[in-house]
């Protein structure tokens, strides 16, 4: 992976694992350490490097997410994260080449979230009424009624679409619905979708990437939305990383696309393993 990225002009970087901020992501919990928190991904620090003019960069680093322990999850795991300048297309092509290089996979199949959802669930994820989606999710076993549109979409997609993804060839799912944008920019031609993608192969969700949101105000709004959701769920709100937000304002990050790939899962796919434990020699961290 290092050879692949270095040959394409990426510079390897290192950023701090321990920082002052917890993630504001409503579905992630940072691990507290030494008065601060271990990072859940190197995203914000790497974007500060991009704002400082680093150009294309990559990093292979441990990341930590409290409470995530299972067949495909561990609290401590390895992320490969990289950013290139420009819109998503170049990154998607490179991702396909990288998988072919490392895993010998056939060319990836690209599908939009909407077409997959229509085929697997039978309703339009962009236009179906929220109530319809929440009712459907509950009917398919969601514990209680999902809180909102994003929760209903996530659940239905994971139950009815994901199991069939990436069997013959890696599947690249593009154009996620706007409520699932995370930190991706909205599509230029349709504000109901965001330029986020995910890669599935061998029954595993391998990677998640964005055409990166640049607008600092929109970042603030999305962080505030996450923190409101956290408070509703009884979780502590996370202070936004002001140095990151300041970098977005000045000088700002260039138009760039980035992706995070689960390295442990990549190794699982390469070896045909069905559990993370099979490819990780030490699994001794407490689960909680």
Partner 1 sequence: MANTYATNEFRSGLKVLLDSDPCVLLDCEFVKPGKGQAFTRIRYRNLKTGRVLDKTFKSGEKVEAADVLDTEMEFLYSDGGDWHFMDPNTYEQYSAAKAALGGHEKWLLQGMTCGVTLYNDAILLIHPPHFVDLKVVETEPGIRGDTATGGSKNATLETGAVVRVPLFIEVDETLRLDTRSGEYVSRVKN
User: Can residue 139 be called a binding residue for partner 1 (CB under 8 A)?
Assistant: no
User: Can residue 138 be called a binding residue for partner 1 (CB under 8 A)?
Assistant: no
C-beta of 54 vs 69, nearer to partner 1: 69
Residues 143, 168, 188, 282: which binds partner 1 (CB under 8 A)? 143
Is residue 123 within 8 A of residue 132, CB to CB? The reply is yes
C-beta of 80 vs 180, nearer to partner 1: 180
User: Can residue 223 be called a binding residue for partner 1 (CB under 8 A)?
Assistant: no
Is residue 172 within 8 A of residue 115, CB to CB? The reply is no
User: Can residue 205 be called a binding residue for partner 1 (CB under 8 A)?
Assistant: yes
CA pair distance 184, 194, nearest whole angstrom: 6
Q: What are phi and psi of 110, to 5 degrees?
A: -100, 130
Is residue 42 within 8 A of residue 61, CB to CB? The reply is yes
Count, residues near partner 1 per rule CB under 8 A = 28
C-alpha dihedral sign at 123, 125, 130, 134: positive
CA pair distance 27, 54, nearest whole angstrom: 30
Closest approach, Cβ 119 to partner 1, in A, equals: 17
The residue among 232, 236, 252 whose CA lies nearest residue 244 is 252
CA pair distance 201, 261, nearest whole angstrom: 12
C-beta of 96 vs 205, nearer to partner 1: 205
Residues 19-48 that bind partner 1 (CB under 8 A): 25, 27-28
Site string for partner 1, 96-135 (x = CB under 8 A): ----------------------------------------
Closest approach, Cβ 102 to partner 1, in A, equals: 22
Three-class secondary structure of residue 76 per DSSP:
strand
The piece of 12-20, 45-53, 91-99, 138-146 that touches partner 1 (CB under 8 A) is: 138-146
CB neighbour list of residue 217: distance below 8 Å, 6 or more residues apart: none
Closest approach, Cβ 171 to partner 1, in A, equals: 13
Residues 154, 212, 241, 264: which binds partner 1 (CB under 8 A)? 154
Residues 155, 201, 223, 244: which binds partner 1 (CB under 8 A)? 155
Residue 30 CA, chain-centre distance (Å), reads 15
User: Can residue 67 be called a binding residue for partner 1 (CB under 8 A)?
Assistant: yes
Is residue 162 within 8 A of residue 202, CB to CB? The reply is no
Is residue 58 within 8 A of residue 80, CB to CB? The reply is yes
Contacts with partner 1 by CB under 8 A lie at 25, 27-28, 67-73, 141-144, 150-151, 154-155, 157-158, 162, 180, 182, 198, 205, 208, 287-288
């Amino acid at each position: 992976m290092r050879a692949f990225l270095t040959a394409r002009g990426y510079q390897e970087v290192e950023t701090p694992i321990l920082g002052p901020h917890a993630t504001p992501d409503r579905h992630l919990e940072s691990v507290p350490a030494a008065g601060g928190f271990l990072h859940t991904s190197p995203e914000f620090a790497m974007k500060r490097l991009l704002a400082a003019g680093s150009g294309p960069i990559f990093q292979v680093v441990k990341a930590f997410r409290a409470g995530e322990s299972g067949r495909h999850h561990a609290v401590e795991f390895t992320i490969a994260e990289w950013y290139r300048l420009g819109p998503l297309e170049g990154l998607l092509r490179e991702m396909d080449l990288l998988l072919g290089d490392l895993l010998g996979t056939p060319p990836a199949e690209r599908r939009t979230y909407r077409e997959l959802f229509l085929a697997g669930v039978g309703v339009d994820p962009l236009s179906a009424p929220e109530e319809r989606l929440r009712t459907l999710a509950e009917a398919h076993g969601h514990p209680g009624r999902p809180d909102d549109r994003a929760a209903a979409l996530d659940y239905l997609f994971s139950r009815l679409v994901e199991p069939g993804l990436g069997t013959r060839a890696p599947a690249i799912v593009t154009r996620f619905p706007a409520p699932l944008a995370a930190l991706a920019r909205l599509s230029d031609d349709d504000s109901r979708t965001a330029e986020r993608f995910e890669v599935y192969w061998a029954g595993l969700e391998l990677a998640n990437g964005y055409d990166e949101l640049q607008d600092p105000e929109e970042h603030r709004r999305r962080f505030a939305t996450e923190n409101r959701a956290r408070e509703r769920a009884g979780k502590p709100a996370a202070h936004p990383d002001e140095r990151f937000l300041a970098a977005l304002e000045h000088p700002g990050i260039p138009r760039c696309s980035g992706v995070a790939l689960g390295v442990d899962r990549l190794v699982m796919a390469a070896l045909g393993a069905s559990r993370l434990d099979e490819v990780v020699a030490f699994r001794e961290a407490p689960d909680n």
